[in-house]
Amino acid sequence: MAADGTIVVFGSINLDLVARVERLPAPGETVAGSDFSMHPGGKGANQALAACRAGHPVQMVGAVGNDANADVATALLRKDGVFMDSVISKTATPTGVALILVDETRGENQIAVIPGANGEVRVLGAESLGRAGAILMQLEIPLEAVEAALESARAEGVRSFLNLAPWRDAAASFAGKADVVIVNETEFAGLAAALGHGDDEASDETALRALASLLGGTLVVTLGAAGARASDGKDLWFASAPVIAPIDTVGAGDTFCGYLAAARSEGMEWPQALDLACRAGALACLKAGAQ
């Protein structure tokens, strides 16, 4: 049961297997790699860790396999003090894995995600929600589980944050059940198209306000180096990101989401919360790895 005011993060936990290669292989081809590393990942776990590092109590709800990868995937969550008693580890399926090839000259990558145990997550029981202050979700677990959790949160009066990542068309049908929807520019385009606003651009304030009003909640759009904007359909807020020389932008969006949920849960107003999340997202670009 989540303690008073805790942020419940209901989402994916993965092990990222990263190989640096001289170039990405063509089908059937073998190329030489120069480096291999394993990092904890998964959007749910990344965001849980960010909210926890923002200083807020966090309960992770998700699933890992009964295997050695589970220990590596959850190592930082445990080390940083995220509550893990609602993470199921008895699934017959293995821990989720992301296979990532990075082209070391061009910086491009190829990624295959095997959801494994993340695909087994079905229900977020009322006992997990308990007296939570907020719930934060992404789209790396089954969508019916996300939608059901949004409905439970609304019924229990728990504020919900939904990051529409990675973008899946089917999520547009229930995004309006979230109190706060967070998208990057690509996801904004997907959401706008799915809601019949295909020509809208993330940088257009009128489009943001219109889409927020259609959803009925607050819509937050992250704009990379340009910062982030949000609207509740009426008001508009903006925060710029600090100017940095990025090293690895993987996980910037996840860090933003975790800090934003924590800042709002601490009672921060939108402009201050956006500013904090933007600064955290920028700092995440200065270190390699998602966590």
User: Which parts of this chain interact with ligand ADP (CB under 6 A)?
Assistant: 184, 222-225, 227-228, 241, 244, 246, 249, 252-253, 256, 278, 281-282, 285
d(CA 94, CA 82): 22
Q: Which residue bears the tokens 């494994």?
A: 116
- Count the Cβ atoms, other than its own, within 10 Å of residue 216: 15
Q: Rounded to the nearest whole angstrom, what is the least distance from the CB of residue 263 to ligand ADP in the complex?
A: 13
Q: Side chain identity at 282, as an amino acid letter?
A: A
Catalytic residue among 16, 179, 254, 275: 254
Q: Rounded to the nearest whole angstrom, what is the least distance from the CB of residue 243 to ligand ADP in the complex?
A: 7
Q: Rounded to the nearest whole angstrom, what is the least distance from the CB of residue 284 to ligand ADP in the complex?
A: 7
Looking at beta carbons only, is 84 or 102 nearer to ligand ADP? 102
Q: E strands within the chain?
A: 7-10, 14-21, 33-41, 58-65, 83-91, 96-103, 109-114, 134-137, 159-163, 180-183, 218-222, 228-231, 236-239
DSSP sequence for 131-199: T-SEEEE-SSS-HHHHHHHHHHHHHHT-EEEEE--S--GGGGGTGGGSSEEEE-HHHHHHHHHHTT-TT
Looking at beta carbons only, is 69 or 255 nearer to ligand ADP? 255
Radius of gyration of the chain, Cα coordinates, nearest whole angstrom: 18
Q: Rounded to the nearest whole angstrom, what is the least distance from the CB of residue 287 to ligand ADP in the complex?
A: 13
d(CA 211, CA 288): 34
* Cβ atoms of 241 and 247 closer than 8 Å: no
Q: Rounded to the nearest whole angstrom, what is the least distance from the CB of residue 143 to ligand ADP in the complex?
A: 19
Looking at beta carbons only, is 116 or 251 nearer to ligand ADP? 251
Of 62, 34, 35, 36, nearest in space to 47 by CA: 62
Q: Rounded to the nearest whole angstrom, what is the least distance from the CB of residue 31 to ligand ADP in the complex?
A: 27
* Half-sphere exposure in the Cβ direction for 41 (13 Å, CA): 24
Looking at beta carbons only, is 148 or 225 nearer to ligand ADP? 225
Looking at beta carbons only, is 1 or 225 nearer to ligand ADP? 225
User: Which residue's Cβ has the minimum distance to ligand ADP?
Assistant: 253
Give SS3 for 115.
coil
Q: Give, in order, the Cα–Cα distances in Å from 172 to each of 146, 169, 195, 258.
A: 12, 6, 7, 21
Instruction: Tell me, yes or no, if 235 is annotated catalytic.
Output: no
Looking at beta carbons only, is 83 or 161 nearer to ligand ADP? 161
List active site positions: 254
